[in-house]
Each structure stands twice: as structure tokens, then as C-alpha cells.
Amino acid sequence: MRENRIGIGLLIIRLVVGLLFIGHGSQKLFGFFGGAGLQGTGGFFESIGLSPGTLMAFIAGAGELVGGILLVLGFITPLASAMILVIMLGAIVKVHAPGGLWATQGGIEYPLVLLATVIGIAFIGSGKYSLDHYFFKKTKRVTSNDQSLS
């Protein structure tokens, strides 16, 4: 019962955070959801010292999109978390740090929450309702030393 509740909780977290990253990546890459697309995002990246801007926008957008998809699926979750972690660290350092802590001032609050979430998922795992669980679940091996056999 507890494993089911934990699995459902992790699924909800993965779905919400993963779908948001899919959206952010789509904004950067394709201009979806009111995003600036590669050219606009590339121009912004150039303005904050990330050069070449269009390439950096592609890397960030692809990382968000692929990382988000992997997170939603719960597949290769440590890789998904690492991709998002790198992007969030870059966002914190290059974009949000001058605004301080709080999001109302453009600060690091929101990217820090996302960063902590993906780090937590990386340590906890993707849960029972994930492709990681389906493909990579560990099974207990019964050995001759197992006391439960006697």
C-alpha cells in the first residue's frame, strides 16, 4: 500500500515538472506557448553572454524537451535529472541570481524549487509507475544463506 502511494506521488511530481520542462523546451526550440523560438531565445542568450546564442538556445531547449520527456516517462531518470539540473544551474547563475531569492523580483526561487525537485527524484528514483521500474526493477535473489528459507 505504501509503495503505491509513494509511486503515485512521484508520478504526479514527474508529470507536472516534466510537462513544464517539455513546454519550456518547446518555447525555446519552436516558439510554442508564446516562446521566442530559437532565434529570439538565441538573441536573449547572446545578450546575457551565452555565445553563440542560437546554439546555446538549441542545447538548452533540447535538454529541457528531452529531459522533460524522460522525466514524464520515468525513463533513465538519473539522466533526465542531470539534464534538467545543468539547465537550472545555468538559469540560476546567468538569469535569476541578480534578482535575489524571490520570484517576484525575478530571483532564483522557482528554478531552485525545480532544481531541488529533480535532485530529489534522482536520489529517490522514479517510482513504481515508471518505465525505469518496469525495465530496471531490482529483484531479490534468494540464496542458500537466506534465513527465510528455513
Q: Which three cell numbers, joined as nine digits, stand for 58?
A: 538549441
Nearest to 18 by CA among 76, 68, 65: 68
Residue 102, helix vs strand vs coil: coil
Helices marked H in 31-149: 37-47, 53-73, 77-91, 109-124, 131-136
Can you give the pLDDT at residue 3?
84
Which residue is it, cell 546554439?
55
Buried/exposed code over 88-111 (b: 16+ C-beta within 10 A; e: otherwise) = bebbbeebbeeeeeeeeeebbeeb
Residue 94, helix vs strand vs coil: helix
Per-residue pLDDT of the chain (150 residues; tens, 9 = 90+): 888 999 999 999 999 999 999 999 999 999 999 999 999 999 999 999 999 999 999 999 999 999 999 999 999 999 999 999 999 999 999 999 999 999 999 999 999 999 999 999 999 999 999 999 999 886 544 455 555 444
Name the residue ranges covered by the structural domains of the chain: 2-134
Which residue is it, cell 525555446?
28
| CA dihedral sign, ordered 79, 84, 85, 87 | positive
